[in-house]
Amino acid sequence: MDANQINKTIKESKVNTDLISDGYHTFGELYNHRIELYINLCKMFSADESLFSPIVWRSKKHSDGDEWDGWFILGINAIPGNQITYHLPDSKWDDCSFAIDLEHAPKFDGHTSDDVLQRLKDLTDEYLEFE
């Protein structure tokens, strides 16, 4: 069975993917780790008052006013081409009180998962240059 077949089977069976494991961690555990790591990265940038420090924001609404029930967006930078965003569960809203509240998120610049990975690397590289 290849990855496409596995994904199709998972989707069709409506299995709880949080419980699927690679043999070391479940997807749920890894997802929770990503959430906490991202929140803490954002918190560190929001606490830094240097010239470089990027804007960290949160919003329950996308730029067009659309909302995803149970989710909000936590973002670094609002400038197209520099945005890093993740949807986080509403249960993490209070953990992100350090972020600037926006009525609507900045217009999405179309970034992909690969773009976010590169922007995260670039962000920390730029930050370290300013120290």
Q: Mean pLDDT of residues grouped by 10 in the chain (131 residues)?
A: 87 88 92 97 86 86 96 92 95 97 95 94 76 57
Number of domains in the chain: 1
Output the pLDDT for position 49: 74
Q: Which domain holds residue 43?
A: 3-130
Q: Looking at residue 130, what is its pLDDT?
A: 61
How confident is the model at residue 25, as a pLDDT?
94
Adjacency order of strands within the sheet including 71-76: 84-89, 71-76, 56-59, 100-101
Element (DSSP H or E) covering residue 80: none
Tokens representing 110 are 């179309």
Kindly report the number of other CB atoms within 10 A of residue 15's CB atom.
11
- What does the pLDDT read at residue 79? 83
Identify each DSSP E strand in the chain by its residue range: 56-59, 71-76, 84-89, 100-101
> What pLDDT, on the 0 to 100 scale, is given for residue 17?
86
